[in-house]
Amino acid sequence: MTPILRTALFAACAIGAAFPAAADEPGPGGTKPLLPTNGEQVYKMVCQSCHMPDAKGAVGAGTFPALASNTNLQVPEYAIMMISNGRGAMPAFRGQLSPKLIAEASTYIRTHFGNKYKKVVTTEQVAAIVGQ
């Protein structure tokens, strides 16, 4: 190995050691989980595993109610409370989802899957209910 090549290799290793945050994560796709940034992503990354991609719910190891054409969703507070506090087998997502994401997920399920409740749920509504 030539002295120039050895010096370049040493410098590259030293830079990598000095800036570990800039180093690539091991494994395919890294080790940090993807985080949702809007209501649709919250549904796809969190909710649909139980409520199904079409939001029609499921029965199997548990019963997961349909969100599709769900008249309970006409009241925004219902969606906020269910997402924030959970109920039965549904876990509470308060503390895991920001008030902004709870509001956006509530709006998303109220405006999709045959639900026609067009009024946007606000972060202020979430904060008033869950106190975040």
pLDDT value of position 24: 55
Annotated domain spans of the chain:
33-130
CA distance 121 to 109: 11
DSSP code, position 59: E
CA distance 108 to 81: 15
pLDDT value of position 18: 47
Share of the chain above pLDDT 90, in %: 65
The token pair at 67 is 């969100």
Tell me how many degrees the CA angle 118-121-126 measures, rounded to the nearest 5. 160
71-129 confidence digits (pLDDT tens): 999 999 999 999 999 998 899 999 999 999 999 999 999 999 999 999 999 999 999 99
pLDDT value of position 131: 80
DSSP code, position 121: P
The residue among 82, 66, 73 whose CA lies nearest residue 108 is 73
Reduced to 3 states (helix: H, G, I; strand: E, B; else coil), residue 20 is: helix
Distance of CA 67 to the CA centre of its chain: 17
The token pair at 62 is 């548990």
Q: What is the CATH number of domain 33-130?
A: 1.10.760.10
Sign of CA dihedral 124, 67, 43, 60: positive
Amino acid at 44: K
Whole-model pTM: value is: 0.75
Sign of CA dihedral 74, 75, 79, 82: negative
pLDDT value of position 19: 46
3-54 confidence digits (pLDDT tens): 554 544 544 444 444 444 545 555 666 677 788 999 999 999 999 999 999 9
pLDDT value of position 4: 57
